[in-house]
Amino acid sequence: MLEAMARVDRYAGRGEEAFRRDELIQTWMVRHIQIIGEAARALPGAFRDRYRHVPWADIVGMRHVIVHEYFGIDLDIVWRVVSVDLPALRQQIEAILRELDRST
């Protein structure tokens, strides 16, 4: 998940205007949000239950929208995910990894 977020960051730094103007950047962002959703979906239920503060259902739900309604994707929502949700998710994932490192 962190790797996909880092890949999104490569182009998110160019700003919303570049995102809206460039279909390749849009596709890049959407693809990596899909990967993040796939990774979240693959996590064991016990893991997701342990970290209920992470919006796993929303992450997986976004993946479903991307996969099943590709031509209906709302770019406003994608940009909000990129600019607001992913930075918050990154902090949550990094905190979980630190916790797991301390416990081993």
pLDDT attached to residue 46? 97
Query: What average pLDDT score do residues 12-27 get?
Result: 96
Question: Is 1 strand, coil or helix?
Answer: coil
Query: What average pLDDT score do residues 68-91 get?
Result: 92
Beta carbons of 81 and 8 less than 8 angstroms apart = no
- Domain ranges in the chain are 2-103
Cα within 13 Å of Cα(2), Cβ side: 8
Structure tokens at 45: 């239920």
Q: Look at residue 99 and tell me whether its pLDDT is greater than 90.
A: yes
Quick check: is 63 catalytic?
yes
pTM of the model: 0.92
| Active-site choice (10, 14, 63, 102) | 63
